[in-house]
Amino acid sequence: MGKILIGTSGYSYTDWSGIFYPVDLSSKEFLSYYADLFPFVELNYSYYRMPEKGQLESMMNRVPGNFLFAIKGHRSFTLQRDGDWRSGALNFLQAVDVLLQTERLAAVLLQFPFSFHYSRENRIYLGQLCALMKELPLVIEFRNSEWLLPSVYKELEQRGIGYVITDLPNIQNLPEKDVRTTSDTGYIRFHGRNSESWWSGDSGTRYNYLYSHEELLSWVPDIETIAASVKRLFITFNNHLKGQAIRNARELRLILKKQEHLDLI
């Protein structure tokens, strides 16, 4: 049975002040406070801004030695790629190497948008990107259901790349929940089920959703199945608006604690 680690996508949200963080806590102390309560965090700023080695070293110095970081790949090679995507990928590799060498890297998340269709061109590109980053513990999230194919799963498995299982709104052509693993790393991302704002919302309102106790409870059998086939299972909540990710992460942890056979960190 693999170890289960629960966290959130991002930690530095000003609207968490007074909800999760004490009102008088400086934003510079957010990560240390967070790391006292959670075993890992998914860094998503790296999607918008290229990470730097010094910045990651500073983060590592503010958390316990066993705290882990998952980090999202930069949009220059996942969303807005061009003919020079390799230089962006190499810069990213150089930065995150400090996490890899110190065994603090949980995973590198490559999140591809809905517009990333299952085409020959995109398959070739994805193969090239994964080959370039083969030394990293990669996990891939597809936002278009076209990629949910046996051939894709087989390729991920052969390359040792994890498949990201998502909880998303029930909208046509978005991936439905597909409980499977393709490497020794399991990864689940809870995005909320806000179908009304999914296409029209921004990075906050799109994920404005609070999971009910029953919705989280329904995931327990699937989490048990996934944990039984991996070394580590990372579960992250991306419904960050108004601290909902924190509330749901804590609630799921309490639910899973009752399953005494699970190895919850």
If we measure between CA atoms, which residue out of 160, 121, 124 comes closest to residue 140?
Answer: 160
What is the structure's pLDDT at 260?
84
Each residue's pLDDT expressed in tens, for the chain with a length of 265 residues? 899 999 999 999 999 999 999 999 999 999 999 999 999 999 999 999 999 999 999 999 999 999 999 999 999 999 877 678 889 999 999 999 999 999 999 999 999 999 999 999 999 999 999 999 999 999 999 999 999 999 999 999 999 999 999 999 999 999 999 999 999 999 999 999 998 888 887 877 899 999 999 999 999 999 999 999 999 999 999 999 999 999 999 999 999 999 889 999 9
Instruction: Write down the domain spans for the chain.
Output: 3-264
At the second CATH level, the architecture of 3-264 is: Alpha-Beta Barrel (3.20)
pTM for the complete prediction? 0.95
